[in-house]
Structure 1
């Protein structure tokens, strides 16, 4: 991580907390492209990201991490490739209260498989207060079966410390010599 400007992508299904997570850690007011939900998303929330979310995290020494959040709806998947271009890593947020978060994990890992060939992955599981199962251990067991072992955290996207832990785990996976 020798560059002064780095780009991290946040992805996951609608309602997983991407917009909230970026807002909680950004050192500048985040840019959001929310629009009123007009489809099945309306059952989960009133507004949804239609293009991107954007924030900046300033690190010591003048380095910056640009934080890009993808739309969660598959109909906006053309934005996923656009936003991930030049990215150094992927943070996948999973909403544990959705009907099948394991399927969501598999879907997004497959959707970003080309990106993940060269970039590390970190997973944050949200809304475990609403639905504690599956556990982080369950996710890790499923991933280990396919020889994947990304760092996995239970997080609250509103917590700057929780989101910072995700970002730092991603940065440490790129450069284990980084100081905290």
Structure 2
């Protein structure tokens, strides 16, 4: 069985690093030298996508697609979302406004992904933060949890180090478990997604 996962998040969240950490093939990337404000954060940036494959045994594998973090390349989302089963949203806890990043990406995903694919949130760079640091991320979903409660509105939120293969694998396997659960139980349609679509 093959699962296809889209890895999204702002610049510097660790998308390319995470894919490289677990891929069993040489990662196909479209990194180029950063030439704008991004260059202050990192030397290269993804302009189309990254692609890696993680083998999980018994012939099963997870194909990982990394989307560009810069807004000007977000047209790639529409292309990649047609090919994937679930979404891993990576955030940088040390960014200036990580909760704002979370809200912005959730809105973008909800608008683009009309199928309501399962979502898992991975938060990097929390190693020096208090143990309750993930609670602030969970609070972003509290209203959606009351209104709906589907896997999109109540996603697992896990801390990870994008450089550590086991950390990345753990988050990806949580997403794979959601996909398997959805297949067995039948996907519950997101009520917020339905309401958004009916108003469009």
Q: What is the rounded CA distance, in whole Å, between the counterparts of 1:11 and 1:109 in structure 2?
A: 10
Q: What is the rounded CA distance, in whole Å, between the counterparts of 1:92 and 1:27 in structure 2?
A: 21
Q: Give the aligned CA root-mean-square deviation in angstroms.
A: 2.0
Shift of residue 59, structure 1, vs aligned partner: 2.2
Give the structure with the larger helix fraction. Answer: 2
Q: What does residue range 1-180 of structure 1 map to in structure 2 within 5 Å?
A: 4-113=1-110, 114-115=112-113, 117-129=115-127, 135-147=133-145, 148-176=153-181
Query: Are the counterparts in 2 of residues 97 and 131 from structure 1 also a CA contact under 8 Å?
Result: no
Q: What is the rounded CA distance, in whole Å, between the counterparts of 1:93 and 1:24 in structure 2?
A: 14
Shift of residue 81, structure 1, vs aligned partner: 1.1
Shift of residue 132, structure 1, vs aligned partner: 5.4
Structure 1 residue runs of 5 or longer lacking an equivalent are: none
Q: What is the rounded CA distance, in whole Å, between the counterparts of 1:72 and 1:40 in structure 2?
A: 13
Residue 84 of structure 2: SS of its match in structure 1? coil
Q: What is the rounded CA distance, in whole Å, between the counterparts of 2:161 and 2:94 in structure 1?
A: 13
Decide which moves more: 110-119 or 72-81. 110-119
Scaled by the length of structure 2, the TM-score of the pair is 0.82
Residues 10, 116 of structure 1: alpha-carbon distance in 2 compared, 3 angstrom cutoff? farther
Scaled by the length of structure 1, the TM-score of the pair is 0.90
Shift of residue 128, structure 1, vs aligned partner: 1.6
Q: Structure 1 stretches (4+) deviating beyond 3 angstroms?
A: 129-134
Larger radius of gyration: 2
